[in-house]
Amino acid sequence: MKTSELAGYLGAESLNTEWTDRDIKGVYTTDLLSDAMANAVDNGILVTIQAHKNTVAVATLKDLAAIVVCNNRPIPDDMMEAAKEEQIALFLTKESQFVVSGKLYQAFKA
């Protein structure tokens, strides 16, 4: 699956366009950024409710393709700004991490 297919597949809202389309290598779900730093998949997706600019910093560090923010958490302007600058795709969905992870598991299980 490519980054550009995520919004359609998840029924999520795509929040920005400043990113390069990539092949997604995997998915990790967590709300602890240190856990994401340790275990997120390079070129993968982070599924989380942590809607703040530090999440983008971790995504940058781990070279993530996308962040999927769940539960319709409000996205602060500085997070949008950081995602734009770092070219990280940002998606927002009303669904929970459980539901989003379940859907992505279907697509990415080996």
Partner 1 sequence: MIIRADLHIHSCLSPCGDLSMSPRAIAGTLASRGVNLAALTDHNSALNCPAFDVACREAGIAALFGIEAQTREECHMLCLFAEPETALKLGEELYAVMPPVPNNPGKMGDQVYVDENEDILGEVEKYLVTSADIGIDELADRVHELGGIAVPAHADRPAFSLVSQLGFIPEGNWDALELVRLPLSEPAARELDTRGYPLITSSDAHYIEHLARRPFDLDIADAPLLRADGRVDMETIRAALARRPR
What does the alpha-carbon distance between residue 54 and residue 85 come to, in Å, rounded to a whole number? 13
The nearest distance, CB 64 to partner 1, in angstroms, is 12
Is 24 near partner 1 (CB under 8 A)? no
Is 37 near partner 1 (CB under 8 A)? yes
Give the strand pairing for 89-92 and 66-69.
parallel
What does the alpha-carbon distance between residue 16 and residue 101 come to, in Å, rounded to a whole number? 21
Is 34 near partner 1 (CB under 8 A)? yes
Is 60 near partner 1 (CB under 8 A)? yes
What does the alpha-carbon distance between residue 29 and residue 32 come to, in Å, rounded to a whole number? 9
The nearest distance, CB 53 to partner 1, in angstroms, is 8
3-class SS of residue 2:
strand
Is 85 near partner 1 (CB under 8 A)? no
Is 41 near partner 1 (CB under 8 A)? no
Based on CB atoms, which residue is closest to partner 1, 36 or 45? 36
What does the alpha-carbon distance between residue 76 and residue 52 come to, in Å, rounded to a whole number? 6
Q: Which residues bind partner 1 (CB under 8 A)?
A: 32-34, 37-38, 50, 52, 54, 57, 60-61, 76
